[in-house]
Structures are given as structure tokens and as C-alpha cells.
Amino acid sequence: MSTYLTAKQLADRLHYHPVYINQSLKDSVFLEGIHYVRPFGGRKVLYLWEEIEKEVTRFSKTSKVIPMSNGGHCNG
């Protein structure tokens, strides 16, 4: 079962501002259908916590990888 979160709830967990999540991370790092859904085809966006948690921890498992703001990474 997936945990659905609003941008504000996700911001509280990730310690980012909800506006930053919606304007910068959505559609660049977080992809529709994987990291978030629009229930009933509406405007409201609900984020899937389990998928976002995988994305956030993906780079911490490899050594010397620095995530970049554009969604890429740098091998440091």
C-alpha cells in the first residue's frame, strides 16, 4: 500500500519548502506516474512516499556521488 502525501506533508518529511517541491523537483526529479499521481485526472498532486524515499536514498548507497539540482549527479 502506498502512502500518499501532499506537497506540504512531503516538505515536512524532506525539510524542503512545498513551493520548491512543486516548482523545482516535480517533473524534473519526481516524475508523474512514478513519484506522484493526479487523482481522477485533476489538478491536485499526491506524492508517493515509498518511491520518493527510494529516490532520496538511491545516491547515498553509492560512494562519492553528489546529487545535482538538475536531477543528475556528480562523481566526486
* pLDDT tens track for 8-32: 999 999 999 999 999 999 998 899 9
User: Which own/partner pairs from 69-75 qualify as long-range (CB within 8 Å, at least 24 positions apart)?
Assistant: 69/24, 70/28, 71/28, 71/29
Rounded to 10 degrees, what is the CA torsion of 53, 58, 59, 60? 70
pTM above 0.85, yes or no: no
Q: Domain count for the chain, please give it.
A: 1
pLDDT tens digit sequence for 53-75 = 998 887 666 556 677 788 777 76
Question: Which domain covers residue 59, as residue numbers?
Answer: 4-75
Q: Which residues pair with 32 in a beta bridge?
A: 36
d(CA 36, CA 28): 12
